[in-house]
Amino acid sequence: MRNLLTLLIFTVTFASTASSLLRIPAANVTLEHLDPTLPPALTTKTPPKCSVLVLHHVFANTAGEPPAVSNYTHPPECPFPWPRVVLELTISASDVQKDRIAAVWLDGAELLRTATPVPMAPGTFWTVQKDVTRYTALFRRLCGSSGITTTGIVSMMLENSNATLPGVFAANVTLHFYRGPLSGERFGYVVHPTAKDLYRRPADIILPVSQDNGECGAGFWFRVENDTDIPAAAVAIPRNTQRAVLEIFASYHAHDESWYANPLRSAYDGGGSFANGGFRQIYATVDGQFAGGHIPFPVIYPGSINPYFWSPVAAIGAFNLPTYDLDLTPFLSYLLDGQPHEIGLGVRDSQPYWLLAGNLHLWVDEWSDLVSAGVVEIKAPPLKVNRHAEWRNSDGGSEINAEGLVRFSGWVSSSEGNMTTTVRQKVKFRSQVEVQNRGAVSQVEMTNKERTSIAVLKSGQQTISRVQVFVEAPLQLQTSRVKAMGGALFEKARVSHQLQEVVNLNENGQALEVSVLMDKQEAEGSLLKRDGQSQPVWGSGSSRSSYKYRDRNSCYLRSLTAVEGIVKADLMSASCASTEMAEA
Ligand SMILES: *[C@@H]1O[C@H](CO)[C@@H](O)[C@H](O)[C@H]1NC(C)=O
Ligand SMILES: *[C@@H]1O[C@H](CO)[C@@H](O)[C@H](O)[C@H]1NC(C)=O
Ligand SMILES: *[C@@H]1O[C@H](CO)[C@@H](O)[C@H](O)[C@H]1NC(C)=O
Ligand SMILES: *[C@@H]1O[C@H](CO)[C@@H](O)[C@H](O)[C@H]1NC(C)=O
Ligand SMILES: *[C@@H]1O[C@H](CO)[C@@H](O)[C@H](O)[C@H]1NC(C)=O
Ligand SMILES: *[C@@H]1O[C@H](CO)[C@@H](O)[C@H](O)[C@H]1NC(C)=O
């Protein structure tokens, strides 16, 4: 009741435009926004040898414009090889603005997909660091040349508009190159969660699967409008390719911006088009044939549910949107003829619209110009999806259960021998969306469990390597709405979200690495919206987050509490001893 009284006062006080209302006095909020989903990629122990500012751009009115582009020349004092390369994106917002999606490409291959926070005060800033060691092939062979130096093209998209809200984003993209051993790391390589074990040895060649797939293109995402829209790029791969992994970048927009909360009908929510249920699957095709997929992790954008939840601590994965890997090695026999083949990207059950791009990572046989390959088994029955919906007017419920098992197996005979790669993936998914009290109360529950294993056998018997990835992502979301005076809407919400990822790597029968990422986030708060406006006029929120990453050598732990835009507690530890005690 007290909240309702407060909101009445607010409706009266803040009767002007949304832009002025989002503004919180700068002294009262933490200006630096954070997303600690992953441990920091830049180590403090060993500083990078070279740091190069590769792009600086101010994004003001850039909706519908091509990406900002700059020429990149590699610093001669940092020659290949590098034990680690880190991309750092620093952005500051001049004023209040909506959240936007941005991406960075090098020579047409996407390096980072990110969401900006909702800047609520002038001077809001944040930094995204990503381990980009897996893209070594791109930094090593830049595709253009001017005189004796080779140059690459760095580009960045951030479609902003400063027409209604004044904020412009000033962005810097910096690359950090390390040389020499990194202290405390094994294999001469970093087992950072973004350097998943599929990329433990970076690829030799990376080919973009995107809009502008010209070899030195600026790069650009594909726009996917719906279920049947499957854009493709024609890609010709070297005939000595012995391993291929497709990495897919994705973000969702408009009617699918919060797909994880969509009901299985469109009449709900004022006849809106937020429909198709809370299930999506991102997948790839090779010459039209299904080649594997993943249910996306539902990253909650900084403007979603309640922007005050995600200020200044972003939702899990928001600053570095997860990418989805498909090992395409079993399909190599279709691709090794030297001709271009169509690699397509799609989203099952999608609504307008998704932005997708892919990078095809290729490892070649340096000792021969030609390898031979064959398919052993391609068993990919479509996911079994059960949909159930019962609605009466605005109330009701939808439930979607999905389950599936795929198996792709193929051999490649190269100078290393005859290797059979078998990819197995098991998925179990459940989504429930319920709406009651004439649309006033809604409840969303989702869980996705995915187990993927990639095993490589030599001469059909000896296991050379096995990578297992187990991902679990439960999400719960409750919202209740009350109509207030003057058509305003008072909304209370609560979110609980987790990302758990366990990676096991075995080589020659020995366990090489086990890593566990366990992130949890809880947020609750309220919002006041004026009728017909998507921007809230008032809001409040608090969040508690904990991030834990552990592998055989290290443990990283961070826990954060944020209340009303201010970080109240921020604990960081390079040892998990304290929590182990707490858990025991
Ligand atoms: C902001 O902080 C100042 C000083 O700490 C305080 O006087 C003021 O009431 C606060 N404003 C709001 C809107 O919380
Ligand atoms: C990049 O270099 C090329 C060739 O030297 C030049 O034509 C182009 O204008 C440069 N682009 C930018 C953004 O500086
Ligand atoms: C970007 O780099 C320039 C030049 O080093 C610096 O003046 C500016 O403050 C940086 N901006 C951000 C947002 O980091
Ligand atoms: C948008 O930003 C640009 C660059 O800062 C500025 O020149 C322009 O006046 C702004 N437009 C509006 C409508 O504020
Ligand atoms: C799906 O999107 C494509 C491409 O925009 C469009 O041509 C087609 O009509 C759409 N199909 C449906 C069923 O909306
Ligand atoms: C490689 O092994 C597979 C099955 O183990 C076999 O069918 C294939 O003929 C072998 N290829 C070569 C070139 O030996």
* Full 3-state SS string of 95-140: CCCCCCEEEEEECCEEEEEEECCCCCCCCCEEEEEEECHHHHHHHH
* Cβ-contact 431, 446 below 8 angstroms: yes
**Given this model, what pLDDT does residue 24 score?**
60
pTM over 0.85: yes
- Write out pLDDT tens, residues 217-271: 767 899 999 999 999 999 999 999 999 999 999 999 999 999 999 988 754 444 4
Ligand 1 center to 24 CA (angstroms)? 9
Atom of ligand 5 nearest to the CA of 227: 1
**Given this model, what pLDDT does residue 151 score?**
87
**Given this model, what pLDDT does residue 249 score?**
97
Beta strand pairing status for 32-33 and 125-131? parallel
Q: Specify the 3-state DSSP secondary structure of 210.
A: coil
* Cβ-contact 250, 296 below 8 angstroms: yes
Residue 229 beta carbon below 6 angstroms from any ligand 5 atom: yes
Any idea where the domains of the chain sit in the sequence?
29-583
Residue position matching structure tokens 């660091």: 129
pLDDT less than 70: residues of the chain:
1-27, 44, 145-148, 183-196, 212-215, 218, 266-273, 576-584
CA distance 314 to 310: 5
Atom of ligand 2 nearest to the CA of 70: 13
Beta strand pairing status for 125-131 and 169-177? unpaired
Residue 413 beta carbon below 6 angstroms from any ligand 6 atom: yes
Question: Residue 250: what are its φ and ψ, rounded to 5°?
Answer: -150, 145
Torsion of CA 450, 245, 411, 457, to 10 degrees: -60
Q: Pick the closest to residue 449 from 428, 467, 476 (CA basis).
A: 428
DSSP state of 45: S
Residue 62 beta carbon below 6 angstroms from any ligand 3 atom: no
Indicate which residue's Cα is closest to atom 14 of ligand 3: 90
The Cα-based distances of 32 to 118, 126, 451 in angstroms read: 12, 5, 36
Atom of ligand 4 nearest to the CA of 61: 1
The Cα-based distances of 168 to 64, 88, 98, 122, 308 in angstroms read: 16, 19, 10, 10, 20
Ligand 4 center to 67 CA (angstroms)? 18
Residue 561 beta carbon below 6 angstroms from any ligand 3 atom: no
**Given this model, what pLDDT does residue 484 score?**
82
Q: Which amino acid is at 362?
A: L
Ligand closest to CA 223: 5
> Which residues have a Cβ under 8 Å from the Cβ of 363 and sit 6 or more positions away?
201, 203, 204, 241, 242, 243, 244
**Given this model, what pLDDT does residue 578 score?**
53
The phi-psi region of residue 257 (left if phi > 0; otherwise alpha if psi is between -120 and 50; otherwise beta) is alpha
